[in-house]
A and B are shown apart, each in its own frame.
Chain A
Amino acid sequence: AQTVTQSQPEMSVQEAETVTLSCTYDTSENNYYLFWYKQPPSRQMILVIRQEAYKQQNATENRFSVNFQKAAKSFSLKISDSQLGDTAMYFCAFMRNDMRFGAGTRLTVKP
Chain B
Amino acid sequence: KAGVTQTPRYLIKTRGQQVTLSCSPISGHRSVSWYQQTPGQGLQFLFEYFSETQRNKGNFPGRFSGRQFSNSRSEMNVSTLELGDSALYLCASSLEQGSDTQYFGPGTRLTVL
Give me the interface of A with B, judged by CB distance under 8 Å.
33, 35, 37, 43-47, 50, 91, 95-104
Contacts and interface: CB of A to CB of B under 8 A. Distances in A.
A62 B111 CA distance: 38
Given A35-B101, A95-B99, A100-B45, A44 B56 contact: no
- Choose among A46, A50, A95, A100 the residue with the greatest number of B CB atoms under 10 Å from its CB: A95
B49 to A, nearest CB: 12
Contact of A99 (B33, B42, B107): B33
Contacts of B104: 37, 44-46
B70 to A, nearest CB: 23
A91 to B, nearest CB: 7
Contacts of A104: 42-43
Contact of B102 (A43, A96, A99, A100): A99
A52 B31 CA distance: 19
B40 to A, nearest CB: 10
